[in-house]
Chain A
């Protein structure tokens, strides 16, 4: 029996994820404003041939709204994960410059890790006044500590590597050592870290929106759809919650898988 090939699997997942992203982007372009179009003769229609995933209380097509929601979530997740990784990387790099800065960064990491995630998220999103921007910033600002901790430990170990010590002894500046020797080693970690953050960021964005601290109700975000669905759940309108939820689950699982396979492959 042949060994499982981590690189092949990672490439496969990467292909699937790329397809998904391209599909989402294309759907945005193809959908136009159909997620917002109301059909008052088809309110709360169950899934059928005309209404693939059913319609909501205002007769809007759920499949279009789910796709639009996923696309929105994807961009929010992407930006939040990217911003988070940048924060983690710069703080980890800062920590290597001196023992005092390291203590400060460690303190910051520990402080943020000890505060419940969701409460901090709500506070920051609320303070920033809600909306897409606020959600992105809130998720980015709360999600960097675990990655920063990994990067800091990795940097700390690298700094003791003989070639890094020798580079310093050969008269190279700290800045040179940082971007010449240390950062190139960290890029794979950053990539995987960002991909691991991504599903997390999407879930939190949906949770924030669901709780009413995130995106505005007029935007077809997954969190908005789910919050809407809550109101109609007792009436037996199951499709309102199930399809957006399934979409979110599939996207999160897909990226989770991609990141874990990339980690094994890199």
Chain B
């Protein structure tokens, strides 16, 4: 269980982004998070994955603080995969940075073997995003924060990506926080949905 307890965060002293936010993500749960641009969705996602430290409150995993070293059980998936990969590495090295996915897993996520010898510049954003999602699914991972990961994909690829992720998540009881503007997508994917506005979370 991933718990956020009364999180507060601000980038400058007089403009709080998040105030007193609490939420719980259980194993196997799909939770949707929507909100306007600049509402703090990504910030909340980064706080949950330990990429940012909250100024007030804390994040716990099974009652303990997030680990400092090793493969993080909460993985953050960013919106733009181009920035999430080292441009000097080949795709095979990128994909296997933390673990080596099986051929079946590669196939499920639509990662083609012929991409592996290429550099990321020669892959499209959608192709690269699939590599990034698969890379983050190391065996130690329990929760995912998917920050607008399907925004740049065409509808068919979106569907394939989400289906593959759904299957994997069900198999391993992964908890997933889906952050998106797209309310239709959230309605399809997530039984529970939250809306972030004015630094507060409301059920949607």
State whether these chains interact. Answer: yes
Chain A residues proximal to chain B, CB less than 8 Å: 161-163, 165-167, 169-173, 180-181, 184-185
Interface residues of B, dominant DSSP? loop
B88 touches A162 (CB 8 A): no
Question: How many interface contacts (CB-CB < 8 Å) are there between A and B?
Answer: 45
- Check if B97 sits within 8 Å of A161, measured CB to CB: no
- The answer to whether A167 touches B97 (Cβ under 8 A) is yes
Given contacts A171-B70, A171-B98, contact A163 B83 (CB under 8 A): yes
User: When chains A and B are docked, how far (Å) is the Cα of A52 from the Cα of B135?
Assistant: 69
Interface positions of B (Cβ within 8 A of A)? 49-51, 69-72, 75-76, 78, 80, 83-86, 88, 97-98, 135-136, 138, 140
Q: How far is the CB of A107 from chain B (nearest CB, A)?
A: 26
A170 close to B72 (CB less than 8 A): yes
Cα distance A163–B51 when bound, in Å? 12
| B76 lies within 8 A of A166 (CB) | yes
Q: A162-B84, A171-B70 are in contact. List 11 more A-B contacts (CB 8 A).
A: A162-B78, A163-B85, A163-B86, A165-B51, A170-B71, A170-B72, A170-B98, A170-B136, A170-B138, A171-B72, A181-B86
- Find out whether the CB atom of B49 lies under 8 angstroms from the CB atom of A169: yes
Could you tell me the distance between the alpha carbons of A225 and B50 in the complex, rounded to whole angstroms?
63
Q: How far is the CA of A172 from the CA of B71 in the complex (A)?
A: 8
- Tell me if B83 and A184 are in contact (CB < 8 A): no
Q: Give the 3 A-B CB pairs with smallest separation, nearest first.
A: A171-B71, A170-B98, A169-B72
Report how far A161 CA is from B140 CA in the complex, Å: 23
B76 touches A169 (CB 8 A): yes
Once A169-B72, A170-B97, A171-B70 are accepted as A-B contacts, the answer to whether A185 and B88 lie under 8 Å apart by CB is yes
